Structure 1
Amino acid sequence: MLNRRRLLTAAGAAGLAPLAARGAAAQATARWQMATPYPDGNFHTRNIRTFIEEVQQASGGRVAVQLHSGASLLPMPQIKRGVQTGQVQLGEILLAAYSNEDVFFDADSIPQLVSNLGEAKKLADLQRPYIEQRLARQGLSLLYMVPWPPAGLYAQQPITTIEGLRGLRFRTFSPATNRFATIVGAQPTLVQAAELAQAFATGVVQAQITSAQTGVDTSAWDYARVFTPLGFTMTKNAVFVSRRAMEALPAEVQQAIRAAAAQAERRGYELAAESQRASEETLAQRGMQVIPPTAEFLEGLRRVSRQMTEEWVARAGEDGAKLVEAYRAA
């Protein structure tokens, strides 16, 4: 009798096991898609992959995320809209590329307002509530932001003064880089990162300012001979989620995603520092001249910076003035 009771108990447990498995499977219904314009080797993308792994683990399998890197699903100009419309649930963008929508996406594009990671973090923390409010109005929720390493100048020969850019066909990727080119007398030409090699090879552009990491991503040694690290800007990427998709999750899962995002932001700053060092070394190893800027060039940049700061504050209004004032006082 005892043996029979044990057998029935074991059979009942065995029968419950598939139900438990089905229950766990039923919870794993949040299957999210994520789009980023950057390639797999980029430190931003590597950071995202770790973030996704941590989200999936912390959620107990209730969120599964498929990453589409290298603009394979959506190009950068379409990613934000893709999250808003539910085509994807998560996205990563260069904030400055969207500054035509809102000037606050562009504060870190003012030349030399930010030139190192400490300054980048200070500005990002002050900027965050403004960005959160703006994204929230569009049905988006900011998860984290990570800066690019300081941007530098790519050209075919050393350029020692700001006047040396005059007349050059200059690659731009945001309203701020377009404005910079206009101020210095260059010819602004909008080119996405994935099209850089062809643009240089065909003479569509002759110079650009971007990070050493982007130079490595696009094999800059194939189209440019000189890199000058200017500490020009440290624009940042934003990773955000559809508020509707996020709020459909249990509160504890939302909390786990927020915790993973905070960790991704901390890790991203470390990766940015590593990227700056390693990318400049790679450019040099591949045969590019890495030449520090002259004092004359930096003085020219400071003049442009003062002008662009005044213009930005004028466009951003009272909130912009508060942001710049708080940043300078911090």
Structure 2
Amino acid sequence: MFDAITEGIRKWLVGRFASAIKHTTRAEDRVLAVQWLSESRAIVASDLRPVEKFKELNTLISSRTAIVAIAKSVSEAVSNYRKSDLPLSMKIALPATLAAIPLVGGHAAGIAAFGGALGVPVLLLIFLGTAGITSIIEAVITNPEVRPHVAEIIEVIIQDERLRRTSARMKAAMKEQPMDPTRFAVPVEELALRKHLLGMDPFQFERHTMSFFEAAGLEAWATRKSNDFGADGFAVHPDGLMVIQCKRHSADNKVGRPTVQQFKGVIEEQGAFRGYIVTTAAFTEEATESARLSDRIELVDMDALVRWHTEAPTF
């Protein structure tokens, strides 16, 4: 019961941070907020002593006017928790839960020890931990109303612990000429849809394909610049990096085994969670057999892609 209440409080706090950032009017300030959270996450994950973490986190907040405003907003929301939509059991537990956080010399400090509008958000960041801070970042960058520029999002993503095995070259490729996913208007009737997909501009096809990953709640983008990895798009799954290759081929130009073999090597070497090859054609039997030998490769032919338009895929 106590664990459920604590988790409920964490989710509520994540929402308060995300809401404060959402109501920041300037896009550049929202970008700063995402960068601040990323830097804060690194401090929380560090080997610094708790009191040193507090000092570092406080310095991050107080050095930026936009972040001070966000911190004050969070502080006010927490101070007025009795008037919030928290369940009664969580309202009762919140003060004691936060007051029990060990900070100085292994002893609990509590909210009162920090004072002011900045101390509370610092305490909350320590309480939320790296997972909670990641949840705030994801809540912000997957919200189209407040989403910062895609390039700024990628700068934060490549520092994520889930991409620790990703090479510097792959991370560089992830940042090269990124494009937001876009679900383009397409015909509803199947034959017309197939014809439309075959006739799409290659870059449009990549952005259209990546829109399915974004719609599933993943951080996703396409890349305009070709790279050594054959990657046309990327998505970040809770379990790691997803790399997507798009093949806008004519119906009779099947994707062969060499393409699958090469892509399998990329996925393995980069420690990616999964790789997708999406085509407007089909795959040869040899290519399909090669993909079956790996649990990290998914092949999406024209038939499957058409189904994506009527049945939202899950990843």
Normalising to structure 2: TM-score of the pair? 0.23
Normalising to structure 1: TM-score of the pair? 0.22
Q: Higher RCO, 1 or 2 (CA under 8 Å, sep at least 6)?
A: 1
